[in-house]
Structure 1
């Protein structure tokens, strides 16, 4: 019996048949897939190259910042050292006054309490300066004159000394580490000039 004019066999075919499978891709479709893979590879390479560029740029900026920080720290340390050296230079004349006062003090006054107090202040000042790295420049008679450490105030012949030797220390010099804060003022020996002979009359 036919339903609505459709043969029974044709009705079964339409209602119960499995879906039709897609046909195998044509040669053109395979080429399109290969192009997509190649495009993806190219995009990946470009992304990796850009990431590497960003990484190198970040590393450069990081190194530049590290160098900047080191430079700032070095400048800060140098500024602190300059400020310390300036302050110590201002204290050195006070140290000289203490030393002159104690050297010229009469023996009959050395036992007095106030004199001992002054000597104690002098020693405390010396300890503070030594704690900052300040050391006197050692000078002995007969040492060779060194323009890096000494400043010649007088040049004169001196018996027992060769030319260029230090005869006497006139004012003590000081160093802060390896840096000369104040050179030692010294008297330096020079060769005696030959006595001039008057022409015979």
Structure 2
């Protein structure tokens, strides 16, 4: 029988011993990892530059798109301003209050046409209409003379505006609302008489 020969057990280094330099394979691997990390960092920086450039272009396009949408309104407003200046220069000295009111109403009509071209419509509201919180904003309370008037519009202070694109009010009409308070019952004692 042949004897098996075994290599002696590898010797252990002392706990305080410093390990030697890595072998050639480990050193080459570290250089390769560093090179790969540097390339990845360069690619990430390039991607960041592309993202920043695309973001800037996107913002520029949005601004241009916004201006394109507003261009008809801005053109109409320029015409209105020119009309106002022209009218102001040609007003007669003997202008009556009725003439001034008619002139201002005609400019209000011009603004209404501008709003309609931009997709905004005047919200009609009249005294006696039922108060609707989705279309009206209460700016005051007026006593109602009958119970039937409770919750109705007493007075319009400012028109509201309706956005035709989204089909909802853009700005509510500002109104005063009637509120009914029932008269006190005749059987109750009047506390003011004794004071």
| TM-score (ref. length: structure 2) | 0.41
Q: Computing the radius of gyration over CA atoms, which structure comes out larger, 1 or 2?
A: 1
More helix by share: 1
